[in-house]
Chain A
Amino acid sequence: MSRLNANNELLAKEVIARYPIKKSALIPLLHLVQEQNGYVTSEGMTHLAELLDITSAEVLGTCSFYEMFKLEPVGRYVINVCGTMSCQLLGADELIHHAEERLGIKVGATTDDGLFTLEKAECQAACTEAPCLQVNYRHEYRVTHGDFDALVDRLVADSKKNGSAVIPPHGTLSETRQHIPAGRAVGAVAPDEVDGAPVWLPVDEPEETA
Chain B
Amino acid sequence: MTLGGVEIERAAGFVANDTPRIVTSRFGVDDSHTLVGYLATGGYEGIRAALKKRPDEVHSQITEATVLGRGGAGFPAGVKWGFMPKDVWPRYLVVNGDESEPGTYKDRLLMELDPHQLIEGCLIASYAVGLSQCFLYVRGEMAVAQERIATALNEAYEAGYVGRNILGTDFSLDIVLHWGAGAYVVGEETALIESLEGNRGMPRLKPPYFPAAIGLYGKPTIVNNVETLANLPWIATNGAEAYRAIGTESSPGTRMVAVSGHVKRPGVYEIINGTTTFRQLLFDDEYCGGMREGRTLKAFVPGGGSAPWFLPDQLDLPFEASQVGPAGSMLGSGAIMVMDDTTDIPKAAHSLTRFYAHESCGKCVPCREGGTWLERILGRIVDGHGTTRDLEMLIEVGETICPGDFPHAASERLGLEAQRFPYQMTTICFVGPSAFAPAHSALTLFPEEFRDRVREVSDDDPVATGVGAVPVELKGVGAQ
The answer to whether A and B touch directly, with their CB atoms under 8 angstroms apart, is: yes
- Enumerate chain A interface residues (CB-CB to B < 8 A): 18-21, 23-28, 30-31, 52, 54, 61-62, 65-69, 80, 83-86, 88-90, 122-130, 134, 136-142, 173-181, 183-189, 191, 194-202, 205-210
Nearest chain B CB to A18's CB is how many angstroms away?
5
How big is the B interface, by class? 35 or more
Q: Do A186 and B55 have beta carbons less than 8 Å apart?
A: no
Q: Do A69 and B181 have beta carbons less than 8 Å apart?
A: yes
Q: Do A140 and B5 have beta carbons less than 8 Å apart?
A: yes
Task: Name the one of A67, A139, A207 contacting B59, with C-beta atoms under 8 angstroms.
Answer: A207
Nearest chain A CB to B168's CB is how many angstroms away?
12
- Asked if B142 CB lies within 8 Å of chain A CBs, one says yes
Q: Do A20 and B358 have beta carbons less than 8 Å apart?
A: no
* Chain A residues with CB under 8 A of B337: 85-86, 89, 127
Q: Do A24 and B348 have beta carbons less than 8 Å apart?
A: no
Q: Do A210 and B6 have beta carbons less than 8 Å apart?
A: no
- Asked if B475 CB lies within 8 Å of chain A CBs, one says no
* Chain A residues with CB under 8 A of B196: 24
Closest to A18 in B: B176
* Chain B residues with CB under 8 A of A183: 164
Q: Do A28 and B178 have beta carbons less than 8 Å apart?
A: yes
Nearest chain A CB to B298's CB is how many angstroms away?
11
* Chain A residues with CB under 8 A of B197: 21, 23-24
* Chain A residues with CB under 8 A of B177: 178
Besides the known contacts A28-B179, A123-B101, A198-B89, 16 further A-B residue pairs in the complex with CB atoms under 8 A apart: A69-B182, A85-B348, A122-B359, A123-B104, A128-B258, A134-B141, A137-B142, A178-B176, A180-B174, A181-B158, A183-B164, A184-B158, A184-B163, A188-B174, A202-B56, A208-B59
* Chain A residues with CB under 8 A of B86: 207, 209
* CA of A127 to CA of B301, assembled, Å: 13
- Asked if B108 CB lies within 8 Å of chain A CBs, one says yes
* CA of A39 to CA of B385, assembled, Å: 39
**Residues of B127-185 whose CB lies within 8 A of A:** 127, 129-130, 132-133, 139-144, 146-147, 150-151, 153-154, 157-158, 160, 162-164, 169-174, 176-184
Q: Do A197 and B130 have beta carbons less than 8 Å apart?
A: yes
A-B contact count (CB 8 A): 265
**Residues of B59-73 whose CB lies within 8 A of A:** 59-60, 63
Closest to A48 in B: B198
* CA of A134 to CA of B268, assembled, Å: 20
Task: Name the one of A30, A52, A125, A142 contacting B105, with C-beta atoms under 8 angstroms.
Answer: A125
* Chain B residues with CB under 8 A of A52: 198
Known: A127-B103, A208-B56. A122 touches B164 (CB 8 A): no
Closest to A34 in B: B181
Q: Do A125 and B142 have beta carbons less than 8 Å apart?
A: yes
Q: Do A200 and B90 have beta carbons less than 8 Å apart?
A: no
Task: Name the one of B133, B139, B201 contacting A186, with C-beta atoms under 8 angstroms.
Answer: B133
Known: A128-B105, A130-B260. A136 touches B143 (CB 8 A): yes
- The secondary-structure label for the interface of chain B is mixed
Q: Do A66 and B198 have beta carbons less than 8 Å apart?
A: no
Known: A180-B157, A200-B127, A206-B56. A128 touches B260 (CB 8 A): yes
* CA of A187 to CA of B172, assembled, Å: 10
* Chain A residues with CB under 8 A of B339: 89
Task: Name the one of A125, A195, A199 contacting B108, with C-beta atoms under 8 angstroms.
Answer: A125
Nearest chain B CB to A53's CB is how many angstroms away?
11
Q: Do A23 and B179 have beta carbons less than 8 Å apart?
A: no
Known: A197-B89, A202-B55. A186 touches B174 (CB 8 A): yes
Known: A85-B102, A139-B4, A141-B6. A27 touches B179 (CB 8 A): yes
6 pairs of residues in contact across A and B, judged by CB atoms under 8 Å: A31-B181, A88-B347, A90-B261, A123-B101, A125-B99, A186-B163
- Asked if B253 CB lies within 8 Å of chain A CBs, one says no
Q: Do B352 and A84 have beta carbons less than 8 Å apart?
A: yes
Known: A122-B355, A178-B176. A128 touches B267 (CB 8 A): yes
* CA of A48 to CA of B259, assembled, Å: 42
Known: A128-B268, A200-B130. A88 touches B143 (CB 8 A): no
Q: Do B55 and A201 have beta carbons less than 8 Å apart?
A: yes
* Chain B residues with CB under 8 A of A185: 163-164, 174
* CA of A16 to CA of B162, assembled, Å: 19
Known: A184-B163, A210-B78. A127 touches B56 (CB 8 A): no
* Chain B residues with CB under 8 A of A83: 351
Q: Do A27 and B181 have beta carbons less than 8 Å apart?
A: yes
Q: Do A198 and B217 have beta carbons less than 8 Å apart?
A: no
